[in-house]
Structure 1
Amino acid sequence: MKERARRINQADIAELADVSISTVSRALGGAHGISPEVRERIRRIADELGYSERPPVQLTAPAIKAVVYLPMHPVTGGLHPIFQETYDGIVAAAAENAFELFPKLLPEEDIDLALIRETADYHGTATAFMFYVDPVPEVARFFQESGSLVLVNNIDADMRFDSVIVDNYAGSKLATRKMLAAGHRNILFVAGNLRYSPRERLRGFYDAIAECPDASGQQVVIGYDRHETAMDYFKRYFESRESWDWTAIVCGNDLMAIGILQAARECGLTVPDDFSIIGFDDISWSAMTTPRLATVRYERAGLGEEAIRLMKRRIEYPDAPVIKASVGVTFVDGGTVGGF
């Protein structure tokens, strides 16, 4: 009896092309992350071998694969507490919208083109969410040409990518107005750095100051927006001075505000008797301080949900205009604001 010819499969193609079976599968399926040279070699070998495969019948829509790039906390090595609830919001919305997420917790400086390409190739997707990070030019070009990117807690000033962010300007202006209403007229703004979000918060601060003719504002940038940095900076500040000309602080985030509270306590100062302070973000730690930190709240889980919505729209309508979505804010009273 004549032996039936064996059917060619993807393992045969992978062996001749010197790549993995998964690379063959993704190349033939049109997935992102495969170089043109490798894709062409795989297709040529498949044609020469007479390879054909009927695609499996899909009873449900396939999941949308997406990588989530998360900035690693430089001290703890974990996820920055400001971003945890937003990431939880993305996870919850992803489960409801057929997304399969691949989270990557990395130092911001490691997110370069080589990493992006390697990750896209490994997971078979060039769809990504990027928290806080400003994509370097070559990474931006990669997503423009080969994939889809949504920025979370950041914006793209060049309007190449959809983004979702809190209304930083309005939140800081609201906090500063609260200090002015309490009678403070010389107020200090503390920023960790001057990236987009703190710049907008600083702008809101100065615009609120400008509304009050007898008020004045000043600023200090301490280098990092962390609890540890603020505590060290202000402990030295309080120890090296007998007095200062401001009576209140509007902080760029809660972590710095909590660090300043700790520095004040260690230096024998009392809040709000010696000075008042307001944070921004309303992280869980803010409800645990003594007194409770006054702060600005926004729906962080809502940021994540909106990011998923933007990505679905971008995938469905690749040429749609770019959207910058903004989440509103509310003020949270606390015991750290006193009258002056």
Structure 2
Amino acid sequence: MNEIKTKRLRQADIATMAGVSISTVSRVLANEPGISESVRQHILKVAAENGYSARTANGALRGSLALIASDGVTGGLSVFYEGIVDGLRAGALDAGVPFEVRLIRENRATPDVVHEYMQTAGAGGLFLVGIDPSAELCAWLEDAAIPTVLVNGTDPQLRLDGASPSNFFGAYEATTRLLNAGHRQILHLTGSHRNTIRERVRGFRAAIAEVEGAEGRLVSMTFQRSAIHEAHELTAAVLAENAGITAAFCMNDFIAVGVLEAVTEAGLRVPDDFAIVGFDDLPCALMTNPPLSTMRVDRVALGREAVGLMVARFKDRAAPARQICHAVVPIAGGTVPHS
């Protein structure tokens, strides 16, 4: 072994010492997916102990790929994801990490398709943006030991790293704003399969449960057409019932715009007769009359945090998964009375 160390160590030498094939060594040093974690760590240990390129042996990022749910982007949330991608790009640039973006329909995010995308991009790390991976995809990502970060997402079992807004606390705070303004019958317009959105429902319910006499009513949306139009129609139907509803917390600002339109058309004054709180602080929040009261999500910060998680994952692939939760900040607006 000392004889090998006197010359420049080759991948063939590492393969001999580690008892594996040269192609396996090559794939590990290039951070390619599909190698078991035990084999990967064994090869990296042998390489490091024998002085092979410390940068490569430490598993530096070969590149990263962000897959973004095209369903969400084309559904009107492109400005939301634009901020996240800006953060990812900035974070990757600061970290010296090659970075690419692709759109994909969430139902097509299968192991075979994702593997093909990663191979084409030459990526060793994967960002899933607005995508909750299926059980099948999660199992493959774990088995192949692929560094993966959920962006604007959470894994309920915390198998994967993630960066997300504080959806539970943000929804709790949004609902509390309405309760503090004296409202006791409050709508929550929502509808999604995503873990992040279920957390907002949970925050809404938790805030309602803490105030005696308060009642919360969930209004489910299908999103089969414009969210604004659907929210408008659903809210108009609820108001027609004359059930005493005086406020609404909305899953996002687009929905809040539709609620505001319906309330105004019903002849109610906002915020005197009816109060509304949105979520995300999208540009449309400043365009309504009055401007929406909402909850700001720092989308650029989410992207930057995700890159930090990816860099840490490449340095220590065996570390426990982490979930970074960013505070959601109330924006005053004009659809809730100022205290």
**TM class by shorter-chain length?**
0.7 to 0.9
Q: Give per-residue Cα distances to partners, 1:121-159, cap 9 Å, x unaligned.
A: 212224110012111223222322332100011111222
What does residue 327 of structure 1 align with?
326
Letter in 2 for 1:179: L
When structure 1 is superposed on structure 2, of 107-116 and 87-96 the one drifting more is 107-116
Letter in 2 for 1:96: D
What does residue 210 of structure 1 align with?
209
Q: Give per-residue Cα distances to partners, 1:28-55, cap 9 Å, x unaligned.
A: 965525899xxxxxxxxxxxxxxxxxx9
Q: Give per-residue Cα distances to partners, 1:256-279, cap 9 Å, x unaligned.
A: 112222344456554334421100
Q: Is the 8 A contact 1:127 1:149 kept in 2?
A: yes
Q: Does 1:160 align with 2:150?
A: no
Q: Give per-residue Cα distances to partners, 1:222-243, cap 9 Å, x unaligned.
A: 123x982342343255268262
Q: Is the 8 A contact 1:188 1:250 kept in 2?
A: yes
What does residue 97 of structure 1 align with?
95
SS in 1 for 2:68: strand
In 2: Cα distance, 1:80 partner to 1:220 partner: 24
What does residue 32 of structure 1 align with?
32
Q: Does 1:139 align with 2:137?
A: yes
- Percent of aligned pairs sharing the same letter: 32
Q: Give per-residue Cα distances to partners, 1:252-311, cap 9 Å, x unaligned.
A: 111211222234445655433442110011112212221110011132211111101110
Letter in 2 for 1:91: R
In 1: Cα distance, 2:234 partner to 2:28 partner: 62
In structure 2, list runs of 5 or more residues that go unmatched.
1-22, 37-52
- Alpha-carbon shift at residue 78 of structure 1 (Å): 7.5
Spell out the pairing of 1:242-261 with structure 2 (5 A cutoff): 243-261=242-260
SS in 1 for 2:280: coil
Q: Is the 8 A contact 1:227 1:258 kept in 2?
A: no
Q: Is the 8 A contact 2:228 2:258 kept in 1?
A: yes
SS in 1 for 2:226: helix
When structure 1 is superposed on structure 2, of 259-268 and 214-223 the one drifting more is 259-268
When structure 1 is superposed on structure 2, of 234-243 and 170-179 the one drifting more is 234-243
In 1: Cα distance, 2:295 partner to 2:75 partner: 26
Q: Is the 8 A contact 2:263 2:274 kept in 1?
A: no
In structure 1, list runs of 5 or more residues that go unmatched.
1-22, 37-54
What does residue 72 of structure 1 align with?
70
Distance 1:74 1:326, change over 3 A: closer
- Alpha-carbon shift at residue 194 of structure 1 (Å): 4.8
Distance 1:174 1:232, change over 3 A: same
Letter in 2 for 1:229: A
When structure 1 is superposed on structure 2, of 113-122 and 71-80 the one drifting more is 71-80
- Alpha-carbon shift at residue 216 of structure 1 (Å): 1.5
Q: Is the 8 A contact 1:64 1:98 kept in 2?
A: no
What value does the CA root-mean-square deviation take over the aligned residues? 3.2
Letter in 2 for 1:238: A
The alignment covers a number of residue pairs equal to: 296
Largest Rg, 1 or 2: 1
Distance 1:334 1:27, change over 3 A: closer
Q: Which has the higher helix share?
A: 2
In 1: Cα distance, 2:75 partner to 2:203 partner: 32
